[in-house]
Structure 1
């Protein structure tokens, strides 16, 4: 489910970037509201994905899909230029995203005692020894 949340977050990231371009410096109300809503949606779904994904993997995939999606749709919607170097960069980004997904899948297939456990906050500390504090 985390990867689905991450995909949804990435779609919001693309909408955020494209809508930001249409705000004309946040002087247009409609695109400005869409930009804010898309940013909030993207962060919300990213946070859901990061409940189980490593932050490095999740954030890299989120920005990678967002970057490629923004450039591809930017060429279609805003008639932005594209060349061979950009295509090569997209292929490398997509390869990296797929590699991270593969690495996550392979790690999930490890034996349960070998699988790294995600951290859900700072490490817990043992309770203080009350007898030692009283002395």
Structure 2
């Protein structure tokens, strides 16, 4: 259950980052509320995951999911570069996350 909470926390983190980008383009209360919902949900599910998982593992995976997910969203939704090296480093982040899971 903790691992599922951590994945959900990462998804909320990605949503929060997407709303931060949207807020830079469109200023509205709805976007601000969605931004708060995204990051609030992210912290809530991260705290649930940390009841079982070690803090170092949970935080590293949470930031990895958020960082790589944010980069992928940027490439898919906002036309950011899809350079091979960029994709390679995203895969490396995810590989490190899997490695942490395997040694935990």
Please give the TM-score of this superposition, normalised by the length of structure 1: 0.73
Q: In 1, Cα distance between the equivalents of 2:58 and 2:15?
A: 18
- Please say which of residues 16-25 and 44-53 is displaced more in the overlay: 16-25
SS of the residue aligned with 1:74? helix
Q: In 2, Cα distance between the equivalents of 1:57 and 1:3?
A: 11
Q: In 1, Cα distance between the equivalents of 2:55 and 2:80?
A: 31
Consecutive unaligned residues in structure 2, runs of 5 or more? none
Instruction: Look up the match of 1:81.
Output: 81
Q: In 2, Cα distance between the equivalents of 1:94 and 1:82?
A: 17
SS of the residue aligned with 1:24? helix
Matched, 1:33 2:37: no
Q: In 2, Cα distance between the equivalents of 1:96 and 1:41?
A: 24
State the number of aligned residues. 104
Structure number with larger C-alpha Rg: 1
How large is the RMSD of aligned CA atoms in angstroms?
1.3
Q: Displacement, 1:25?
A: 7.2
Q: Displacement, 1:8?
A: 0.6
- Please say which of residues 15-24 and 74-83 is displaced more in the overlay: 74-83
Kindly indicate whether the alpha-carbon contact (under 8 Å) linking 1:12 and 1:39 is maintained by their aligned counterparts in 2. yes
Q: In 2, Cα distance between the equivalents of 1:48 and 1:26?
A: 32
Q: Displacement, 1:24?
A: 1.7
Q: Displacement, 1:26?
A: 7.6
**RCO higher in structure (CA 8 A, sep ≥6):** 2
